Amino acid sequence: MKKTISIMFVLLSAMSFAGNAEFIRYAVPSPDGSKICFSYQGDIWVVAAEGGSASRITVHPGYDYNPQWSPKGDRIAFVSDRTSSDQIYSMKTDGSDVKRHTFYPGGNRLFSWSKNGDALIFGSKRNDRYAWMPEVYKVSLEGETPQKLFNFNAIDGACAPDQHTFYFVNGYDHRWRKNYRGATNNDIFSYSPKEKKMVQHTVFDGNDLHPMPVKDGLYFVSDRSGRFNIHYLDFKTKKISQLTDVKRDGIRHAAISNDGSTIVYSNFLDTYILTTADGKSTKCSIQVPEDSPFTELEFKNFSSKLSNMVIAPKEKEAVIDYHGELYAVKLNDKEPEKAVRMTESAFHDKDPIWSKDGKKIYFLSDREGQFDLYQIEPTEDLPFYLNTYFKLTRLTETAEDESALDITPDGKSLSYGRGNGNLIVRDIDSGEERVLLKGWNLGPYQWSPDSKWLAFARDDDNFNTDVFIIAKTGGQAVNISQHPDIDTAPVWSPDGKMLAFSSRRFGTSMEVLYTYLTEEDSNKTLDDWKREKELEALKKEKAKKKEDKSDKSKKKDKKKGKEEPKKKDESSVSVAIDFKDIHKRVVRLTRHLGDAYPVAITCKDRSILYVLMEEASSDLYLRDLNKKNPAALTTNNAKPRAVQLFKDRVYYLSKGSVKSVNLKGKDKKSYKLKGVFSQKKSEETMQVFQEIWRVQNDYFYDANFHGADWAQLRKDYTVLMSAIRHERDFADLMNMMVGELNASHQRYSGPRGKRVAYGNLGAQFKVTEKGLEITDIMPKGPLTKAKPKVQVGDIVTEVNRRPFTNIHELLRDQQGKLVELTILRGDKTFHADTRPDAHRHVTGTLAYDAWIEKNREKVHNATDDKLGYVHIKGMSIPSLEVFETELFSEAEGKDALIIDVRYNGGGWITDFLLNILTTAEHAYTIPRNGGKGYPQGRRTFYHWTKPIYVLCNEFSYSNAEIFSHAIKTLKRGTLIGKPTFGAVISTGGKGLLNGGFIRMPFRGWYVKGSDLNQENNGAVPDYIVDYTPLDQLEGRDPQLDKAIQLFVDGQ
């Protein structure tokens, strides 16, 4: 605890009393090297090259970054998210005359000015889905519609001094990943459109970044020394020399002045000036005002957006979780009730539960550096919501996290996970603990109503999840589901006669199953249950009459002064379980296309309450065992969470608000509240940093962290944290930290803001004096549906009768809406109506479909329709369905098949595909007057046993790589292309206090036989065929050509 507090104190002290600007971003020298422009606190600043006091030249709540001086030094271009997505702007050097140059949400990346200063060159993803990285665009300072400059991918670029050559980085964006070695490495190329000549300047399986061309050579940043340092390539000698020798952190960014005299670069907290004449570096000390544009102490009023809630036993109040703090609130559906804050810290308090008597609340908190168990109780004997002060008691002090907190129904014991898989049972009165379960993972669990049994889910080493039952006293756990797929989320009935759970044993959807716990109950008919219910009602009626007589007798005794005998505190529920063949008594309850998970079982008739999550909705359903169809208790995608059943009322969170409904789906209530939350922003940022570090520390699949000293990195990045002034800088820093692990499937994502959508016409344009000329129309795109018809060569002059400079400006929020285009064709003008598509549909579907059809046509024409072509877009069920369909529609009757998994982002269907491709033929059938065949209905999937050629490349990712490895390992086909990414780890993720998310690689994959770790070791093709930027520019596909050639040559 002391260590955590000291770290936070250092951070807060540094953040409160800034002087020297540290960890400045994107520093660039002016054309003559006399000034430096940089990003700090999310704004653009300028300072003299020798350092000193900096001047802020933008002041905006948005994040302004990546400034670039114009060649004359009179303007500065920059990127900003001030209008939700990153767009490109420019301004005069004093911050005046701000102009916006882009509008389209294509992930715009500012590369450089053109050398004459009349345009800006940038990267953007606009109409080409099949390439992951941006292509190169150009926009004039007059704000015209951007034009595609080069049809190749680039993540960074710069214009050469000769004004004719463009230098660019080709590969994947590995900016923050350390020591990656693989096929998606970054190399530097140049292209001269004047000479139509492309040159590859660096060949290194690591990363070469930030090209800085000069007359006789090229400065760039490379990690070939193990850390990012500045290097120089001499064009004459072809020799590369290292100019800096940074050992700590590495150079994050570097830029050169137009005259080539000065390079400014950033390393760790500091900024340096490198003089190219002598290669010497000098630290640049920059001062900024100590005041900050951001409010450190933030206050928020809230009435919803709750993370969790738990109803008190008497249903009069609830404990709610808002932003990691716990509040008590009275339940009132008529008027707002004040939420009373019970915890207040910079840490994460979560998972509250009530004691049985409702006088205490237990919860988990990481205020001591890991999640421990705490107890909170009011100082006055009143409901929590009427108290002002509360007593907090820490109950556990362990190095490992506690998790999955619950309480037994009898209120005598607490249970919680410890570490990654152990389950602890704690006696509430004595505080004594014992380990009930040991393991490396722990799934959902629930106590039986008599508190004597625990039902829980757990994975085996094959990640098959089953449901088990174990006695509270310990012993051998019994597997009651016994199925080789996912069985999870066990729920007991209140009478202890039934257990329900969710299972994926019927296709790919999770369905609700149940079992009676005794053989006798399993054999009962509906009439038996009806009779038992009637007998139980008669029994209760007799007991009531007896109780009434007893009450009269007590009143008489009370008058006579006799003491009232104490009631026996005995539970009427006693759970009996016949474990023999219990898994054979399991019954399927639901049949849905979505995933169904049980959350409770009713008292009266054992109806099962469950959440159904379908493609576009998530709602609560109740299924009576005696009826075929479930009843919907919520509708319209209520997204129910934290569901709790009290007799005949169901409480739940719906989109962050507390609601309830009765079991008939009626009497719906929405509980109103009002609360105040306050926090210090710096404290929250530090908390999230600690959470991210701990997630990787506890769950990263390799206990050796790929060779990184993870404990030391925590210390190093704590120092860097002291300089963070903006959420996006924090996001980058966190991705730098996890990048030290050199692992795929790693990313911190901050809270998502509101995004602005733009319509896309699915066309390419050329700026002319008369307007915007259509140069290409995407097949099946919006312009193919225009009425009257438009065509290539037409000129667009207006949108909805409004003239434009940049057409994208007028397409904001126009996706799916009817838009009128004014068209000039020759000397005639007419109006055409169409509906722009969403950006993602154009780039992710239309452009993709066009690319596939182009490839398929090429294959067919080159082989007289003897060779088929299919592309697997992603390793998902929709892609599997398309693949199986195309095996018949595209491949049936052909001699061989090309299976293309290039640009496939992964998923999980490799084994389904192998089932299709490796099915052995053991028999055939012949119907009368028919031919040889095999009944398709007897197979799980359609199958393909003929030759295959598999195309992969450096952008075949994750499960697409597992597939590529499998094709080679099983010798099923010929692998062609480039080695795959080397990004194979199973990943999960954790939500964070600030609403952000960190991915969590938890399981490694290894090649059978060689034991090769597929992470950082891509599948190597049988035929390695490169696909260069020049190939892309000139429209060639040598990888596809090679597959065709091998087929034609009979190989």
Nearest-10 crossing angle of helices 910-917, 877-889: 20
Cα–chain center distance at 10: 32
pLDDT, tens digit (0-9, with 9 covering 90-100), for 887-899: 999 999 999 999 9
Q: How many residues does the chain have?
A: 1051
Whether 570 shows a pLDDT value over 50: the answer reads: no
Q: In the block, which residue shows the tokens 């998210």?
A: 81
Instruction: Please tell me the predicted confidence (pLDDT) of residue 553.
Output: 66
Q: Is the pLDDT of residue 2 over 50?
A: no
Indicate the pLDDT class of residue 129, thresholds 50, 70 and 90: low
570 vs 412, more confident: 412
d(CA 406, CA 411): 10
The pLDDT confidence band at residue 292, using thresholds 50, 70 and 90, is confident
Q: So what's the pLDDT on residue 11?
A: 43
Instruction: Report the distance separating Cα 951 and Cα 338, nearest Å.
Output: 62
Of 985, 345, 269, the C-alpha closest to 690 is 345
Confidence at residue 5, expressed as pLDDT on a 0 to 100 scale: 40
CB atoms within 10 A of CB 646: 14
Q: What pLDDT digit, counting tens, does each position of 166-209 carry?
A: 999 999 988 899 999 999 999 999 999 999 999 999 999 999 99
The maximal CA–CA distance of the chain, rounded, in angstroms, is: 117
Give how far Cα 647 sits from Cα of 231, 355, 357, 606, 641, Å.
72, 18, 17, 12, 18
Peptide bond into 927 cis (omega under 30): no
Average pLDDT of 211-235?
96
Measured CA angle at 338 (ends 336, 340), to 5 deg: 155
Instruction: For CATH 3.90.226.10, list the domain ranges present in the chain.
Output: 866-982+1018-1048
The tokens for 708 are: 């990184």
Average pLDDT of span 1020-1041: 96
Tell me the one-letter amino acid at 660. Answer: S
- Write out the two tokens for 523: 């054999």
Residue 917: which pLDDT band, with cuts at 50, 70 and 90? very high
pLDDT band at 858 (very low <50, low <70, confident <90, very high): very high
Q: Are 1018 and 982 in contact (CB under 8 A)?
A: yes
From-to residues of CATH 2.30.42.10 in the chain: 759-837
Work out the average pLDDT over 291-308.
88
Put simply, whether the predicted model's pTM sits higher than 0.95 gets the answer no
| Average pLDDT rounded to a whole number, residues 476-485 | 96
Superfamily covering domain 759-837? PDZ domain (2.30.42.10)
Alpha carbons within 13 A on the beta-carbon side of 396: 31
pLDDT tens per residue, range 963-975: 999 999 999 999 9
Q: How confident is the model at residue 562 (pLDDT cuts 50, 70, 90)?
A: low
Strand spans (E) along 395-508: 402-407, 413-418, 422-427, 433-437, 445-447, 453-459, 465-471, 478-479, 487-492, 498-506
- Eight-state DSSP code of residue 783: G
Is residue 458 within 8 A of residue 479, CB to CB? The reply is: no
With a pLDDT cut of 90, the percent of the chain lying above it is 85
DSSP 981: -
How much of the chain exceeds pLDDT 70, in percent? 96
* Residue 557: pLDDT over 70: no
pLDDT in tens, 55-64: 999 999 999 9
Strand partners, 933: 925
**230, 223, 148, 233: which is closest to 189 by C-alpha?**
233
> What's the CA gap between 517 and 583, in Å, rounded?
10
State the DSSP H helix or E strand holding residue 705, giving kind and residue range, or none if neither.
none
Would you say residue 480 has pLDDT above 80? yes
Task: Count the alpha carbons within 13 Å of 91 in the hemisphere toward its beta carbon.
Answer: 20
DSSP state of 842: I
What distances in angstroms separate CA 996 from CA 41, 630, 641, 1030, one per listed residue? 20, 36, 19, 40
Amino acid at 835: R
pLDDT at 533: 79
Task: Kindly report, as residue ranges, where domains of CATH 2.120.10.30 are found in the chain.
Answer: 304-442, 443-534+576-657
Mean pLDDT within 958-983: 97
Give residue 770's pLDDT band: very low, low, confident or very high (50, 70, 90): very high
Burial of 414 (0-12, 13-18, 19+ CB in 10 A): buried
Class of domain 443-534+576-657: mainly beta
How confident is the prediction for the chain on average, in pLDDT?
Answer: 92
**Band of pLDDT at residue 17, cut at 50, 70 and 90:** very low
> For the segment 83-108, what is each residue's pLDDT rounded down to a tens digit?
889 999 999 999 999 999 999 987 89
More confident residue, 10 or 736: 736
What local confidence, expressed as pLDDT, does residue 175 receive?
85
Q: Is the pLDDT of residue 18 over 70?
A: no
Res 636: pLDDT: 94
Instruction: Give the span between the Cα atoms of 657 and 286, in whole angstroms.
Output: 48
- The CA R_g of the chain, rounded to the nearest whole Å, is 33
- What's the average model confidence in pLDDT over 42-64? 95
The single residue listed with the structure tokens 């290409």 is: 776
Lowest mean pLDDT among 164-173, 287-296, 649-658, 830-839: 287-296
Torsion angle of C-alpha atoms 377, 380, 385, 391, degrees rounded to 10: -30
7 — pLDDT class (breaks 50, 70, 90): very low
CATH number of 304-442: 2.120.10.30
Confidence of residue 555 (pLDDT cuts 50, 70, 90): low
pLDDT (tens digit per residue) in 587-598: 999 999 899 999
Q: Examine the pLDDT at 545 and tell me if it is beyond 60.
A: yes
Q: At what angle do helices 847-863 and 1038-1048 cross, to 10 degrees?
A: 30
* pLDDT of residue 290 exceeding 80: no
What tokens appear for 1030 in the block?
A: 């020049």
Residue 140 confidence class, pLDDT cut points 50, 70, 90 = very high
Strands of the sheet containing 640-646, edge to edge, are 640-646, 649-654, 657-662, 669-670
Spatial separation of the C-alpha atoms in residues 406 and 355, rounded to whole Å: 10
Q: How many CA atoms lie within 13 A of 232 on its CB side?
A: 19
Residue type, 824: L
Name the band, by pLDDT with cuts 50, 70 and 90, for residue 540: confident
* CA 878/CA 870 separation, integer angstroms: 14
Dihedral sign (CA 615, 620, 625, 631): negative
Strands (E), 785-871: 795-799, 802-803, 819-825, 828-834, 837-838, 867-871
Domain 866-982+1018-1048: homologous superfamily in CATH: 2-enoyl-CoA Hydratase; Chain A, domain 1 (3.90.226.10)
What pLDDT band is residue 574 in, cutting at 50, 70 and 90?
Answer: very high
